[in-house]
Amino acid sequence: MLKNLKEFSLPKIEEKVLEFWKSDRIFEKSLAKTKRGKKFVFYEGPPTANGRPGIHHVLARVFKDIVLRYKTMAGFYAPRRGGWDTHGLPVEIEVEKSLGLKSKAEIEKFGIAEFNKKCRESVWKYKNEWERFTERIGFWLDLKNPYITYENSYIETLWWIIQQIAKRKLLYKGHKVVPCEIQD
């Protein structure tokens, strides 16, 4: 793989290694090899693709990757399903800014359905950059089969999980400080 390099260049070596992993399907082979092992479940705490990946995302992903590779090398079957955080306050704020909306009344005048549509569209703005970033740092993650937090199947599953937790009386009422933004 590296014998044909005429000069020592870390970026070129990196590209060759990534190319080898991709062309020889090394990630997929590592999963196939451990398919019968004890399952180690991992769901990526998903990024919001309406913001660019940054250097601060590298560290978190490296730590996740270290754990997952270790578990795989220890014989565990550790599929790595990626996801996309596609709703919530950061998405709404970004869309409000892009549309020049400053209040709840302005959003209602614009139209809730149209505003929601713009939010759903905006979350994919930097998807390609996130995928490239993930590949370049060598984080093996299944992004071909992601979970998407605005899909009904995801939302219904969360409600079902909350229901199961409530049935077991594991929910409790408490207080904590959380960031929020109050709209007129």
Residues whose CB falls within 8 Å of the CB of residue 160, separated by 6 or more in sequence, listed in order = none
For the chain, the 3-state helix, strand and coil shares in percent, each to the nearest 5, are: 50, 10, 40
Residue 34, φ and ψ in degrees, nearest 5: -110, 10
Look at residue 153 in the predicted model and tell me its pLDDT. 94
- What are the CA-CA distances from residue 83 to residues 46, 131, 162, 172 (Å)? 5, 11, 20, 28
pTM, two decimals, is 0.80
Output the pLDDT for position 122. 92
pLDDT for 149 equals: 93
What does the alpha-carbon distance between residue 52 and residue 72 come to, in Å, rounded to a whole number?
A: 29
Among 24-38, 81-95, 112-126, the least confident range: 81-95
Handedness of CA 183, 125, 82, 133 (dihedral sign): negative
Q: Long-range contacts for 56-60 (Cβ within 8 Å, ≥24 apart)?
A: 57/133, 58/137
Set out the domains of the chain in order of their start, with CATH numbers: 37-148 (3.40.50)
- In this predicted structure, the answer to whether residue 24 has a pLDDT above a threshold of 80 is yes
Task: Give, in order, the Cα–Cα distances in Å from 109 to each of 96, 112, 122, 173.
Answer: 13, 8, 20, 36
Looking at the predicted structure, is the pLDDT value of residue 1 above 70? no
